[in-house]
Amino acid sequence: MGIHVTATHPGALARDPYLWQVRVVDDAIRWPLILRYRRWDDDETPGKVSWLLVGFELEDRHKGRAQEEWADSPFDAAVIRPGDLAEVAARLDYYHSIAVGWLEFDFAGANQRALELQARGRGRRGLGDDFLKIVVGDYRGLVAKGKPGIAELARAYNVNRSTASRWIKKAAERGLLAEGEEQA
């Protein structure tokens, strides 16, 4: 797994010279993430700069490529699933910290956060409660609609049924699901 970051300065002739963009490509998520920051210079403390996150978007991984080039890709090009957003939401604090590190030229700090994110991983050992709470919410929503929870959850998150089932079991072990609720 790797994380690649690029920061773009708006340039002297830009309409808004205080708006910066950071592109994060994390092999663990399906889409590159664009984070937009406004540079805020503190008038009372010379030299103090704050970076305000003012927007983000998921970038089309296949942007500029002909459909024939990505037709057999493991990713469905134009489809953003709820699971994609859940993955980004579960990792957003790390991405934000990495991006601000790059904007402040604190590459050692940014790299440390990237290593923490990689160590957190996507495997069983790295399933945090925040991620599992999102999964449980999606699972409950599917079951409430009368859909087969595990199968639909696996489809939404683009994982195997066994992985989705393991998530639900882990959530139940941690008390995030009521007893018997993981049967659907």
pLDDT digits (tens, 9 = 90+) for 50-95: 889 998 888 876 555 555 554 555 445 456 777 777 778 888 888 8
pTM: 0.55
Q: Which regions of the chain are under pLDDT 50? A: 1, 70, 74-75, 77, 122-125
DSSP the chain: --EEEEEE---TTSS-TTEEEEEEEETTSSS-EEEEEEEEE-SSSTT-EEEEEEEEEE--TTTTS-HHHHTT-SS-TT---HHHHHHHHHHHHHHHHHHHHHHTT-HHHHHHHHHHHHHH-SSGGG--HHHHHHHHHHHHHHHHTT--HHHHHHHHHT--HHHHHHHHHHHHHTTSS-TTGGG-
